[in-house]
């Protein structure tokens, strides 16, 4: 299996490297939908990686999804691949049809209602790619029961807005009939937030590794005081710190996806988002500082990654929000369960 | 980062069976261990505790049976260690021998050294100290000056070693001496020896009390001390290469993130079942790191088991683990704002009191943070 993931990794890396050129990223910033990139992603079956064969997918599992999303983050792919993967997985779990096209997810559920006639109502902020999407998938409470819905583009109005990475984060007003069904037992009102945090942690892992690698290259190329700045101890110390922090975030993200393949990664995905957010803080500081003024220009490519990291670390729950959940659960379990709960996580994977 | 790669580690089922045995053992033996000793964790010397572990075959457990070992896997040893450390077991007596002196002798020692010394270690009867640093050689270890001069049948040693934990109680010291040249020759001319601390004339061990009030450190003086040829480890001049190997053992274990775990556990207790938002966030941050570092530490052990050479990953693990350990008292301070009482305080206070102070030493042992970051930078191709 890990060999298959290696081959997948090479394939998707090539795909994103070819398509996510600086020119394309600039065009995406300006609002141009990267039609060719999305078509290639769909052609290669990446949007269906999590779906079983009878639904047209390959049933590759979450760990394969990690490989895809890590690569997407590494190249700042300006498309809602994480959202479409997550939405498809939710629809499949709920037994709903998975339509073709761009499907995004609605992060919040508490401002949406489903009327008895099957009409969705309510307003939600910051919905990723809503205007461009063909469908939105979300969770809604209906008479105390949680339901999964799939709303076609005709069932909502979208007012465009953007995060600082200039990725669409639109205001959605639901106005129409959606396909909906009762959520399966393992889906709770937190499921989209939890798995959303997890997919972001994979994208962040890719972007974090990228900025450290690019900055290392920069320290080798940039000469000051007569030598490459990599030779200065203070630069070495800073880069060692950034690399270590990023390695931890990568480990935490991988661990969450491993956990997702065996059950609900409630603890691991929370850890992954905390570590990814912390690493984003440390690594973007150090990488920008090391680049100096050139890294602050629009012309240099560093910002395509750092602006995404700053946006993603706030989406689907920031560090403190997830840390609080972890802390509350541990406190409720008490000090004597602390260590055995940590080791039980690993045991379950063997 | 192609240079840096943590492969997710998996534990085999026999390791999980061992975990159950160790927990049952700890449930019995830890009852009488006070919080102050738990807080000292792998630096707390408790010979009887070590002997009990030895009886179970849990010291030198990966070593060949003919030297008293149990020939178990590195991953089983990993599980044993993390269980001991998380419980705050007082494992200091045998820790250095089990972790680095024994493996060193196994790898570079003579057959006679293996046969005479290793079985005592595995029984929990023989303790070791590390004789590397000198008063003017700390981070710059290659500048050591203590001389071992060749004489008939052995070496005559003059000089001193410092920061030697437990030398006043240990049976042996693995010491790095200069057998030729001067400090200017750096890595050349260094040789390792096993020094019998209890039966050698010309050795004077003087205590250095640390700021917590504990007597752990010593300075060991050598004045014409005679070390026989049979106690030399490896060839003359191979000392530097051997020491580097030894330090890799020292840097890679789970003790690199678990030293403060007794305080993490006590903090969860202190917060109670319904913590404030601030406390829940602080605890959650600790636990997210602890769980992730455990995966990384396990990954390093898995790579060692697979015969790989995770030197860079071990250095990264030490950088992160030490940063974590050292952050814990600060987080506990943020969450509870308590000035711990030294006399008759709660277990939380006793633990906080010790770790708040001992904390500053965590990044010194096994190489300072700056040295370790330098090693990482080299691994990243910067130097």
> What is the distance between the alpha carbons of residues A253 and A124, in angstroms, rounded to a whole number?
28
A350: nearest CB among B11, B266, B285: B11
Contacts with B4 from chain A: Cβ below 8 Å: 243, 247
pLDDT digit string, tens, across residues B46-63: 999 999 999 999 999 999
> What is the distance between the alpha carbons of residues B129 and B171, in angstroms, rounded to a whole number?
8
3-state secondary structure B268-287: HHHHCCCCCHHHHHHHHHHH
Q: Is pLDDT above 70 for A1?
A: no
Whats the size of chain B, residue-wise?
A: 383
Q: Which of residues 22-61 of B touch A (CB under 8 A)?
A: 23
pLDDT for position B78:
94
pLDDT > 70: percent of chain B:
98
Closest CA to B293 of B332, B334, B326: B326
CB A152 within 8 A of CB A104: no
> What is the distance between the alpha carbons of residues A316 and A114, in angstroms, rounded to a whole number?
23
Whether B87 and A339 lie within 8 Å, measured CB to CB: yes
Strand B190-196 with B172-178, pairing: antiparallel
Reduced to 3 states, what is the DSSP secondary structure of residue A33? coil
> What is the distance between the alpha carbons of residues B220 and B196, in angstroms, rounded to a whole number?
12
Q: Is pLDDT above 90 for B7?
A: no
Strand B154-162 with B215-228, pairing: antiparallel
Q: Is pLDDT above 50 for A350?
A: no
Of the ranges A112-126, B147-161, B296-310, which one carries the lowest mean pLDDT score? Answer: B296-310
Contacts with B82 from chain A: Cβ below 8 Å: 343
Q: Residue holding tokens 């990954």?
A: B299
Strands (E), chain B: 128-131, 147-151, 154-162, 172-178, 190-196, 203-209, 215-228, 232-233
Reduced to 3 states, what is the DSSP secondary structure of residue B39? helix
Whats the size of chain A, residue-wise?
A: 350
What is the per-residue burial (b if ≥16 Cβ within 10 Å, else e) of B212-229? beeebbbbbbbeebbbee
DSSP conformation letters of A199-223: HHHHHHHHHHHHHHHHHHHHHHH-E
- Token representation of residue A186: 């393992």
3-state secondary structure A233-255: HHHHHHHHHHHHHHHHHHHHHHH
B381: nearest CB among A216, A246, A343: A216
> Measured between CA atoms, how close is B312 to chain A, in angstroms?
10
What is the per-residue burial (b if ≥16 Cβ within 10 Å, else e) of B185-197? eeeebbbbbbbbb
CB A320 within 8 A of CB A270: no
Strand A103-105 with B154-162, pairing: unpaired
pLDDT for position B244:
83
pLDDT > 90: percent of chain A:
91
Of the ranges A20-29, A38-47, A328-337, B132-141, which one carries the lowest mean pLDDT score? Answer: B132-141
A350: nearest CB among B10, B23, B269: B10
CB B136 within 8 A of CB B274: no
Q: Rounded to two decimals, what is the model's pTM?
A: 0.95
Of the ranges A56-65, A282-291, B322-331, which one carries the lowest mean pLDDT score? Answer: A56-65
> What is the distance between the alpha carbons of residues B109 and B286, in angstroms, rounded to a whole number?
41
Whether B319 and A328 lie within 8 Å, measured CB to CB: no
Say whether the ipTM exceeds 0.90: yes
> What is the distance between the alpha carbons of residues A298 and B371, in angstroms, rounded to a whole number?
36
Question: What is the interface size between A and B, counted as CB pairs within 8 Å?
Answer: 175
pLDDT for position B320:
96
pLDDT for position A59:
84
- Token representation of residue A3: 């060999």
pLDDT digit string, tens, across residues B132-185: 999 999 889 999 999 999 999 999 999 999 999 999 999 999 999 999 988 888
Q: Is pLDDT above 70 for A232?
A: yes
Residues 6+ away with beta carbon under 8 Å from A273: A197, A198, A200, A201, A316, A317, A318, A319, A322
Phi and psi, residue B80, nearest 5° = -55, -50
> What is the distance between the alpha carbons of residues A315 and A129, in angstroms, rounded to a whole number?
14
Is the minimum CB–CB distance between A207 and chain B shorter than 8 Å?
Answer: no
Contacts with B13 from chain A: Cβ below 8 Å: 350
- Token representation of residue B295: 């995966």
- Token representation of residue B271: 């917060």
pLDDT digit string, tens, across residues B101-140: 999 999 999 999 999 999 999 999 999 999 999 999 988 9
Contacts with B313 from chain A: Cβ below 8 Å: 247
Query: Which 8-state DSSP code applies to residue A55?
Result: G
> What is the distance between the alpha carbons of residues A21 and A4, in angstroms, rounded to a whole number?
26
Contacts with B312 from chain A: Cβ below 8 Å: none
CA dihedral B245, B128, B98, B150 (to 10 degrees): 40
For A2, counting Cβ atoms within 10 Å of its Cβ (0-12 exposed, 13-18 middle, 19+ buried), the class is exposed
Closest CA to A157 of A147, A143, A145, A170: A170
Contacts with A271 from chain B: Cβ below 8 Å: 287-288, 291-292
For A43, counting Cβ atoms within 10 Å of its Cβ (0-12 exposed, 13-18 middle, 19+ buried), the class is exposed
pLDDT for position B2:
58
Is the minimum CB–CB distance between A324 and chain B shorter than 8 Å?
Answer: yes
Query: Which 8-state DSSP code applies to residue B302?
Result: H
Q: Bigger pLDDT: A54 or B60?
A: B60
B12: nearest CA partner in chain A: A350
pLDDT digit string, tens, across residues A176-188: 999 999 999 999 9
Residues 6+ away with beta carbon under 8 Å from B98: B59, B60, B121
Q: Is pLDDT above 70 for B249?
A: no
| A103-105: strand order across its sheet | A103-105, A135-142, A145-152, A179-182
B295: nearest CA partner in chain A: A251
pLDDT for position A347:
54
Strands (E), A111-164: 112-114, 120-128, 135-142, 145-152, 156-159
CB B143 within 8 A of CB B131: no
What band does B235 get if pLDDT is binned at 50, 70 and 90? very high
CB B242 within 8 A of CB B233: yes
> What is the distance between the alpha carbons of residues B339 and B333, in angstroms, rounded to a whole number?
8
Closest CA to B195 of B164, B241, B150, B226: B226
Of the ranges A170-174, A281-285, A322-326, B337-341, which one carries the lowest mean pLDDT score? Answer: B337-341
pLDDT digit string, tens, across residues A10-27: 999 999 999 999 999 999
Q: Is pLDDT above 80 for A314?
A: yes
Phi and psi, residue B125, nearest 5° = -110, -15
What band does A55 get if pLDDT is binned at 50, 70 and 90? confident
A271: nearest CB among B261, B283, B292: B292
Q: Is pLDDT above 70 for A348?
A: no
Q: Is pLDDT above 80 for A333?
A: yes
Closest CA to B61 of B123, B12, B104, B130: B123
pLDDT for position B1:
53
> Measured between CA atoms, how close is B368 to chain A, in angstroms?
12
Count H helices and E strands in chain A, helices first: 11, 10
């Amino acid at each position: 299996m890990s060999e298959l993931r290696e081959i997948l990794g090479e394939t998707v890396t090539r795909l994103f490297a070819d398509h996510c050129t600086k020119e394309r990223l600039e065009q995406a910033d300006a609002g141009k939908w990267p039609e060719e990139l999305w078509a290639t992603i769909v052609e290669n079956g990446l949007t269906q990686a999590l779906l079983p064969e009878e639904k047209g997918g390959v049933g590759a599992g979450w760990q394969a999804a990690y490989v895809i999303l890590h690569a997407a983050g590494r190249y700042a792919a300006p498309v809602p691949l994480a959202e479409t993967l997550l939405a498809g997985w939710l629809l499949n779990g709920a037994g709903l049809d998975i339509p073709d096209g761009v499907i995004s997810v609605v992060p919040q559920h508490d401002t949406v209602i489903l009327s008895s006639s099957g009409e969705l109502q309510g307003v939600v902020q910051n919905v990723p790619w809503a205007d461009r999407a063909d469908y939105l998938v979300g969770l809604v409470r209906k008479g105390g029961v949680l339901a999964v819905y799939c709303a076609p583009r005709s069932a909502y109005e979208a007012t465009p807005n953007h995060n600082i990475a200039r990725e669409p984060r639109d205001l959605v007003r639901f106005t129409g009939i959606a396909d909906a069904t009762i959520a399966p037992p393992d889906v709770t009102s937190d499921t989209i937030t939890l798995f959303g945090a997890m997919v972001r942690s994979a994208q962040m892992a890719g972007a974090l590794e990228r900025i450290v690698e690019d900055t290392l290259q920069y320290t080798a190329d940039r000469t000051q005081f007569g030598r490459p700045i990599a030779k200065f101890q203070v630069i070495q110390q800073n880069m060692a710190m950034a690399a270590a922090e990023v390695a931890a975030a990568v480990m935490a993200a991988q661990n969450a996806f491993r956990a997702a393949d065996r059950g609900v990664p409630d603890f691991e995905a929370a850890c992954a988002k905390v570590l990814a957010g912390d690493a984003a803080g440390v690594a973007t500081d150090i990488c920008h500082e090391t680049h100096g003024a050139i890294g602050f220009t629009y012309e240099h490519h560093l910002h395509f990654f750092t602006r995404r990291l700053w946006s993603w670390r706030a989406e689907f729950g920031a560090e403190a929000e997830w840390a609080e959940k972890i802390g509350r659960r541990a406190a409720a379990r008490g000090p004597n369960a602390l260590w055995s709960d940590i080791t039980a996580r690993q045991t379950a994977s063997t | 980062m192609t240079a840096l790669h943590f492969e997710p580690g998996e534990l085999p089922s026999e390791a999980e069976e061992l975990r159950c045995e160790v927990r049952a053992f700890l449930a019995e033996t830890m009852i009488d261990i006070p919080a102050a000793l738990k807080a000292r964790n792998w630096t707390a010397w408790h010979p009887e505790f070590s002997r009990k572990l030895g009886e179970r075959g849990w010291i030198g457990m990966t070593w060949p049976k003919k030297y008293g070992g149990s020939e178990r896997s590195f991953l089983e040893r990993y599980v044993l260690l993390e269980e001991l450390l998380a419980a705050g077991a007082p494992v200091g007596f045998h820790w250095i021998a089990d972790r680095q002196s024994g493996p060193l002798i196994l790898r570079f020692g003579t057959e006679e050294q293996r046969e005479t010394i290793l079985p005592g270690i595995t029984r929990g009867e023989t303790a070791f100290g590390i004789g590397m640093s000198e008063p003017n050689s700390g981070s710059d270890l290659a500048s050591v000056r203590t001389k071992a001069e060749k004489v008939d049948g052995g070496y005559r040693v003059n000089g001193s070693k410092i920061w030697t934990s437990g030398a006043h109680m240990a049976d042996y010291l693995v010491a790095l001496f200069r057998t030729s040249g001067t400090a200017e020759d750096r890595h050349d001319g260094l040789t390792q020896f096993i020094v019998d601390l209890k039966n050698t004339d010309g050795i004077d061990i003087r205590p250095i009390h640390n700021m917590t009030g504990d007597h752990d450190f010593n300075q060991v003086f050598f004045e014409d001390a005679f070390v026989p040829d049979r106690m030399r480890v490896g060839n003359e001049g191979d000392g530097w290469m051997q020491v580097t190997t030894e330090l890799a053992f020292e840097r890679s274990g789970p003790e690199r993130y678990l030293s403060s775990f007794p305080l993490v556990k006590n903090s969860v207790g202190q917060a109670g079942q319904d913590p404030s938002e601030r406390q829940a966030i602080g605890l959650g941050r600790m636990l997210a790191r602890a769980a992730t570092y455990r995966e990384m530490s396990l990954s390093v052990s898995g790579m060692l088991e697979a015969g790989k050479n995770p030197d860079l990953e071990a250095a990264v693990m030490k950088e992160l683990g030490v940063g974590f350990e050292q952050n814990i008292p600060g987080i506990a301070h943020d969450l509870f704002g308590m000035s711990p009482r030294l006399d008759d305080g709660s277990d939380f206070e006793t633990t906080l009191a010790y770790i708040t102070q001992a904390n500053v030493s965590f990044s010194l042992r096994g190489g300072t943070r700056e040295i370790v970051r330098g090693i990482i930078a080299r691994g990243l191709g910067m130097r």
